Amino acid sequence: MELLAQHSGLWLLGLAAALAVTGLVAGVMAGLLGVGGGIVIVPVLYHLFTLLGIDESVRMHVTVGTSLATIIPTSIMSSRAHRRKGSLNMDLIRSLMPGVVVGVALGSIASRFLDGSVLTAVFACVALLVALNMAFKRDGFSIADGLPGRAGTALLGGGIGGVSTLMGIGGGTLSVPLLNALKVPMHTAVGTGAMLGMVISIPGALAFVVNGLDVPMRPPFSLGYVNLLGFALIVPATLMTTGWGATLAHRIDARRLRQVFAAFLALTSLRMFYGLLT
């Protein structure tokens, strides 16, 4: 709340409008391209907080924490929908869950001590890999004919949980392409990603709340590193427009749009790298 007295009502109104637009864009892109909302919300929030002059020391932490919080309701609703459709493979989820939980715990602990520049670098690196995968992945590409052994699956789950927590994204962004490359059917991979998003976002968001308590220079209306105004405006907008994106997906060239979004992610990643180096 330290910044509240430094800005006018017009500034706060602009912040609210920009957050709502972020949710609208995230919902459309999630429904249109099948990507998790977090991979959209994080770069947009990061640039928004940069434009609004949020202090660099807390900018990425608030971005990640707020994104994780917005994923909670959307991942719960998505998991329920996939369960009704029968696309949840509980054996697969149970095999990944221990590693994911450990990864989330380690990521949450690490986020307390990591500088914002490290979080930015983590997001920039993984976002660039996601962009390259979206732009150049070949249909039918695989790296193995199934999950690795118990130890390998635990490491896979740990990587998904830990990196997703540090990036502020749900499990789908990383788990869906990885599981699909391991010959897991796409609808099962998507359902698994939705469930993992719930497992990652709830403890992850709580950790960012606790880690950010009493930290100065946070945006107005922040609880720890979670901006409550952002949460309140992004979530309804995202839920409202996800269906629009799914409808548009049947009317336009989704492959071309996927390439455009990959370019957006790549440019965001490069811009983050540039900011870290200057």
Backbone Cα Rg of the chain: 18
> pTM for this one?
0.85
| pLDDT value for 147 | 75
**Cα distance between residue 145 and residue 91, in whole Å:** 17
Give the start-to-end residue ranges of the domains of the chain: 7-277
- Give the pLDDT band (50/70/90) at residue 8: low
Give tens-digit pLDDT for 21-58. 888 888 777 766 656 678 888 888 888 888 878 888 89
Backbone angles phi, psi at 253, to 5 degrees: -75, 95
> CA-based diameter of the chain, in Å?
58
Mean pLDDT of the chain: 82
273 pLDDT above the threshold of 70: yes
| pLDDT value for 105 | 93
Question: What is the per-residue DSSP string for 121-164?
Answer: HHHHHHHHHHHHHHHHPPTT--S-SS---HHHHHHHHHHHHHHH
| pLDDT value for 130 | 83
Q: What is the mean pLDDT of residues 86-106?
A: 89
- Give the pLDDT band (50/70/90) at residue 139: low
Q: Which residues of 99-122 are buried (b: 16+ CB within 10 A; e: fewer)?
A: bbbbbbbebbebbeebebeebbbb
CA dihedral 38, 44, 47, 52 (to 10 degrees): -110
174: enclosing H helix or E strand: helix 172-181
Which ranges in 34-136 belong to alpha helices (H)? 37-51, 56-84, 90-113, 116-136
| pLDDT value for 244 | 75
